[in-house]
Chains A and B, each alone.
Chain A
Amino acid sequence: MKISINQRKRYTQNIAFWIFRLLSFMVVAILFIILCFLIYNGIKVISWDFLTQMPEDGMTKGGIYPAIIGTLCLIAGSMVFAFPVGVLSAIYMNEYASDGWIKKLLNQMTSNLAGIPSIVFGLFGMALFVNKFGFGDSILAGSLTLGLMVLPVIIRTTEEALKAVNDTFRHASLALGSSKWQTTRRVVLPMAFPNIITGVILSIGRVSGETAPILFTVAAYFLPRLPHGIFDQVMALPYHLYVIITSGTNIEESRPIAYGTALVLITIVLIMNLIANAFRRYFGKKVKMN
């Protein structure tokens, strides 16, 4: 049987496309395997008590309440720092700075900062905040370290958001006699706000999951009480998970707790991602309609 060139072309293409489709869905499969595995094993452990009780018996029983609170503290702390700095920085870079070497430098620095490994942030946080400034292992030191780490994320998403605002709005506002700051404050920012929030939500997801930067700046191995102030150590979900699977007092017995902790952690990240996506879709449409 003879196949014409055209037919062969079509066959090759079909085979190739199917292979590519298969490979792409392998990526999806990886995610689903991980998620299903964690949900299947973790769901048995999750209960109201698990979420609201202190760990007991060398972390083999009880709940993960202090770790959840600790992670929330770190999220709040890092955002208090990173949100204003990141947004202002992006506004400056996008609205004020003229195209020159300064802008180029700032851009370069931002992407460099994004590429620095989290453990290096941990080292830096320890050297500067914990030792040099004398904060000790504390929420303050941990939040600042985490804040610096997610700064590029916030700057980048805010920049994107500002760029998405059509220039005609800026021109219209300026033509009405408002100043540059008034334009930014009253016209550009409100329009870009939903997208900025998307960035913040994504970085919250990142902050809640990072372990390496908090290892030496805030995380406590075992501390069954709530923090008293910003100079207090806390437990945090990712570090707690790390501890109970690798160096807990009884690794086998605390396995269920580990599954539960992993599930809680991943749920936070998942929810943050979903909210960010929903936000983007909902407000993305709204801005376009305007």
Chain B
Amino acid sequence: MRISALVTSITIIMIVFFLFREGVGIFKSPSVEKGYVIAVNKSNAVETLNSTQLKNIYDQEITNWKTLGGKSQEITVFRVEDITNYYSEEELGANMEYLPAKISEVLAKTPGMIAFFPSTYLVKNFKGKVLPLKNISVANFLGGTEWFPTAQPSAQFGAWPLILGTLYVSLIAILLALPLGLATAVYLAEIADKRTRNFLKPVIELLAGIPSVVYGFFGLVVIVPILKNTFHLDSGQSGLAGGILLAIMALPTIITVSEDALHNTPNAMREASLAMGASKWQTICRIVVPYSSSGITAAAILGIGRAMGETMAVLMVTGNAAVVPHSIFEPLRTIPATIAAELGEAPQGGLHYQALFTLGCILFIMTVSANLMAGYISKKKRLA
């Protein structure tokens, strides 16, 4: 029995352990997939590169070594398939058996070259310089604005648009849901008679029970087209669509928690207010709601926490564009949606896989801190 009781705690510990074990791994490796190397000419003064620099080089946004602290020299980008530009097929051999040697040769010949190739092609007396690569840093991961997890040669793991997208949708959701939820909670707790309450309560429970895919489906076939037509958008899949859906999904949490908070107001305070000649409405406005404000805040935070972690519905209606959102009508992408959409394609143990686990860690920290904060706020009031 004691063991059963410990299962929840053990699970949490294991979740933390596994999530972080897989997730932290990404900070111990460079952004180039294992088994590949980046090499330059021996005369090159550049010591190391990070993932953004690599990407910019291969996108030809940086074209001179000077920008990277080297000598002023044009950068020549080289991928394995470019070898045919330098050597004929006979020179490479029928089965490409001379390919490794030729890569080494071309590197030695071209001073401004940077090459990206599998490490199996590294010959013994390699005539280039293999660049040691910088590990992905925490700051880069959190602050980077580009999410191209499968880009070659250097994957880009910038989680900032995803984090922002998650917060953004949750915020829209809570702004929509809070007024409605609070009104319903006040109505349920203070105004409605017993019959209405007995009717409303199960309805709210049902709303909480509807699976998120079904919400997503509804959003996709109803809300998205409506948004598209009303606001004349290219695609209705947007932060707003996600926000509306999440608002509906967060309603039950907000209603239940704030109703509990309202119920906790001592009757003596209500009676005192009424005895002073205040109307029921004045009592609600001035006494009950202010008294339970911390509980209502907790409800809002819990609602945000719920909204942040929601996966399927958001995945289906937000359009999944990993960019920093500028308006509510633009598509965006959240952390859970990214995990759900990409984990299936990420090879186990690879960089992409680890990056998704790191996202999981971030999400975990965000939701747990929301929960703890909500708990703390509602507890503080009880002591006062």
Contact = CB atoms under 8 A, between A and B. Distances in A.
Nearest to A242: B213
A72 interface: no
The 9 closest A-B pairs by CB, nearest first: A117-B309, A209-B211, A88-B4, A13-B281, A23-B183, A115-B371, A92-B5, A212-B311, A119-B336
11 contacts: A12-B281, A34-B215, A92-B2, A119-B339, A119-B360, A120-B363, A211-B312, A216-B343, A216-B344, A239-B213, A245-B217
B218 to A, nearest CB: 5
A31 interface: yes
Nearest to A23: B183
Interface stretch (B34-42, B95-103, B184-192): B184-192
A151 B255 CA distance: 23
Contacts of B220: 245
A241 interface: yes
**Most A CB atoms within 10 A — which of B1, B2, B8, B206?**
B8
Contact of A209 (B14, B15, B202, B213): B213
Contacts of A85: 4, 7
B210 interface: yes
Contacts of B204: 27
A89 B7 contact: yes
Interface of A: 9-10, 12-13, 16-17, 19-21, 23-24, 26-28, 30-31, 34, 37-38, 84-86, 88-89, 91-93, 96-97, 105-106, 108-113, 115-124, 126-128, 131-132, 148, 151-152, 155, 202, 205-206, 208-212, 215-216, 238-239, 241-242, 245-246, 258, 262, 265-266, 269-270, 272-273, 277
Given A10-B279, A277-B202, A117 B308 contact: yes
B340 interface: yes
B174 to A, nearest CB: 16
B260 interface: no
B123 interface: no
B19 to A, nearest CB: 6
B18 A128 contact: yes
A245 B206 CA distance: 23
Contacts of A155: 8
Interface in B313-336: 316, 336
A117 B205 contact: no
A5 B214 CA distance: 50
A241 B217 contact: yes
Contacts of A120: 15, 19, 309, 360, 363-364, 367
Interface in B192-215: 192, 200, 202-207, 209-215
A93 B360 contact: no
Contact of B8 (A28, A89, A258): A89
A27 to B, nearest CB: 5
A208 B186 CA distance: 32
B268 interface: no
A89 B310 contact: no
A211 B213 contact: yes
Contacts of B360: 119-120, 123
Given A30-B207, A34-B218, A112 B12 contact: yes
B22 interface: yes
A23 B316 CA distance: 27
A31 B348 CA distance: 41
Contacts of B211: 208-211, 238, 265-266, 269
A119 B222 contact: no
Given A23-B183, A96-B1, A273-B205, A106 B210 contact: no
Contact of A116 (B6, B221, B222, B309): B309
Interface string B351-373: 00000110010011001101110
**Most B CB atoms within 10 A — which of A19, A110, A116, A128?**
A116
B19 A269 contact: no
Interface of B: 1-2, 4-9, 11-12, 14-15, 18-19, 22, 179-180, 183-184, 186-188, 191-192, 200, 202-207, 209-218, 220-222, 248, 251, 255, 279-282, 302, 305, 308-312, 316, 336, 339-340, 343-344, 348, 356-357, 360, 363-364, 367-368, 370-372, 375
Contacts of A210: 211-212
A17 B191 contact: yes
**Most A CB atoms within 10 A — which of B1, B204, B255, B344?**
B1
B218 A37 contact: yes
A235 to B, nearest CB: 14
A124 to B, nearest CB: 5
A242 B200 contact: no
Given A92-B4, A151-B8, A115 B305 contact: yes
Contact of A24 (B18, B188, B212, B282): B188
Nearest to A128: B18
A241 B312 CA distance: 11
A38 B180 contact: no
A21 B12 contact: no
A27 B180 contact: yes
Nearest to A205: B209
B123 to A, nearest CB: 36
A24 B184 contact: yes
Nearest to B218: A34
Given A10-B279, A109-B12, A127-B357, A20 B183 contact: yes
Contacts of B251: 27, 30
A1 to B, nearest CB: 21
A97 B310 CA distance: 34
A246 B341 CA distance: 11
B367 A115 contact: yes
Contact of B357 (A38, A106, A123): A123
B1 A91 contact: yes
B279 A106 contact: no
Given A24-B187, A123-B360, A124-B15, 12 more contacts: A24-B192, A27-B204, A89-B6, A110-B8, A113-B11, A115-B368, A115-B370, A122-B340, A206-B209, A212-B212, A269-B209, A269-B210
